[in-house]
Amino acid sequence: MYSTGCRIGEAITLDRVSINFSNQSAIVLGKGHKEREVYFITRCEIWLKRYLSERKDHEEALFVTTCAPHRMSISQARNIETDIKKSIHPHKLRHSYATNLLNNGAPIEVIQNLMGHEKSETTKI
């Protein structure tokens, strides 16, 4: 989620076929059922490929539960344990993504588009 800036609901609705490794992108279904393309970095690509290669199920969902694999729910995704000691929430990853873009010189209009915001005021928050 950090690499793409996806909302948690967008990330869990991704299917394996939604991932385009050739241009490191995915099509997500955002708020208002609007599709947008998100991009991920090489490190994310490496971890996604590793994750998919270790899965033995045939579930179409990209992110699945470990027992009797089926699409992960939002609440299940929120409860994933991490090695990070500091409290981290999925939406913090989205904010960090936008802040990182801003700190590296991306125009607010580009960040707005990548985040799927209709209003620049939302992005500025």
Distance CA 112, CA 58 (A): 35
* Residue 56 token pair: 């033995």
Indicate the helix (H) or strand (E) that contains 112: helix 108-115
Say whether pTM exceeds 0.75: yes
pLDDT digits (tens, 9 = 90+) for 48-94: 999 999 999 999 999 999 888 899 998 888 877 665 656 667 788 88
Res 87: pLDDT: 65
DSSP 60: S
Q: From the centroid of its chain, how far is CA 6?
A: 4
Q: For domain 8-124, is the CATH number 1.10.443.10?
A: yes
Distance CA 84, CA 24 (A): 26
